Amino acid sequence: MPLVSMRQLLDEAAKGGYGVGAFNVNDMEQIQAIMGAAKETKSPVIIQASRGARQFAQDKYLFHLILAAAELNPEIPIAMHQDHGNSFETCKSAIDLGYTSVMMDGSLKEDGKTPASFEENVAVTKRVVDFAHERGVTVEGEIGVLGGVEDGHGAGGTGLEHVTDPDQAVEFAELTGVDALAIAIGTSHGAYKFSKKPDGSVLKMDVLIAIHKRLPNTHLVMHGSSSVPKDLQDVINQYGGKLKETWGVPVEEIQLGIRNGVRKINVDTDNRLAMTGAIRKVLWETPEKFDPRDYMKPAREAMQKVVAQRMTQFGQAGHAGDYQAVSIVEIAKGYKSGALSTQPLVAAK
């Protein structure tokens, strides 16, 4: 199957009432781990690359590795997504390269740190939507500002400073025509999200539910949604690591989100923890080893296990064969004719 539009993948997820994990990649082993899990669980999947990943791996390496994944797994729908584009130019460069989806994170200014005004966010996101839709490419926007910093991107802070306002979310979706909307409900990027198991005072699922009620047909996106399970933290610390105690977003909260319009769930930290723990274990137990394959193979297996678990928990497992890929050219026609709506259905307050 060629790379598919993320819009198609999320529309199908909405029909089926499940969520789709969006997993970050920087290298071949991570892509293989995701594809291994997708194959094992028969899941459609979103593979995403941040600006940092594109720089680390170089665009062409990363893009062709993902094309290889599509070529080797024709039965799996794969959307290739730019995570946290900081400007029109970043999104355009991903689209020119062949990505089938981009996130324009206009919640921050181009520096990727300073919160932008609502008007600035609408203007840059709309510009990306116009360019992308003409080419059949999906756009995710963000309203409200997430906490933490990852790959040099983020406003920092706790994630509670700029929680999304439901009225603004409606206005933003109407003005921009985005296909998917990332909202801020108290989550943060990185490993240190919460200092205890989160409750309603720090993880605002009520805000998410309020937004879904107003925008029942808009695909919502949860960022910073690793669960940071204790067993993965423990492996790292058992073999010489020094992670401080921390809590992520419990899977049952994500599942509550999925029942309330969440269709894309971003997961990165859990995979990083799994790989690093596996590598530490090999090097700790067998310090005489020096062949990278001796630790990259267990690292890849550890990540595959976490990804497969998330795919099952998010409900995407078993749905890879539900549909045929619609070409990007056809998707572009759909946007033009209005067959693919870009105006959200808005429910009364």
Active site residue 268: no
DSSP reduced 3-state for 150: strand
Q: Which of 223, 263, 272, 280 binds Zn ion (CB under 5 A)?
A: 223
Nearer to Zn ion, 92 or 223 (CB): 223
The piece of 24-32, 90-98, 110-118, 221-229 that touches Zn ion (CB under 5 A) is 221-229
Q: Is 177 in contact with 216 (CB distance < 8 Å)?
A: no
- Binding of residue 264 to Zn ion (CB under 5 A): no
Cα(first)–Cα(last) distance of the chain, in Å?
42
Output the smallest distance, CB 288 to Zn ion, in A.
40
> Coil, strand, or helix at residue 224?
coil
Q: How far apart are CA 134 and CA 247, in angstroms?
A: 41
Give how many residues touch Zn ion by CB under 5 A. Answer: 1
Minimum Å distance from CB 142 to Zn ion?
Answer: 8
Radius of gyration over alpha carbons of the chain, in Å? 19
Nearest-approach distance from CB 84 to Zn ion, in angstroms: 6
Q: Check residue 153 for interaction with Zn ion (CB under 5 A).
A: no
Contact region with Zn ion (CB under 5 A), list: 60-68, 158-166, 218-226, 229-237: 218-226
Query: Closest distance between Zn ion and the C-beta of residue 99, in Å?
Result: 16
The catalytically annotated residue of 83, 105, 165, 268 is: 83
Closest listed residue to residue 322, CA positions, set 18, 53, 69: 18
Q: Is 81 exposed, middle or buried (0-12, 13-18, 19+ CB in 10 A)?
A: buried
**For residue 339, with 0-12 CB atoms within 10 Å meaning exposed, 13-18 middle and 19 or more buried, which class applies?**
exposed
Span from 10-18, 212-220, 222-230, 282-290 in contact with Zn ion (CB under 5 A):
222-230
Residues acting as catalytic residues: 83
What is the binding site for Zn ion (CB under 5 A)? 223
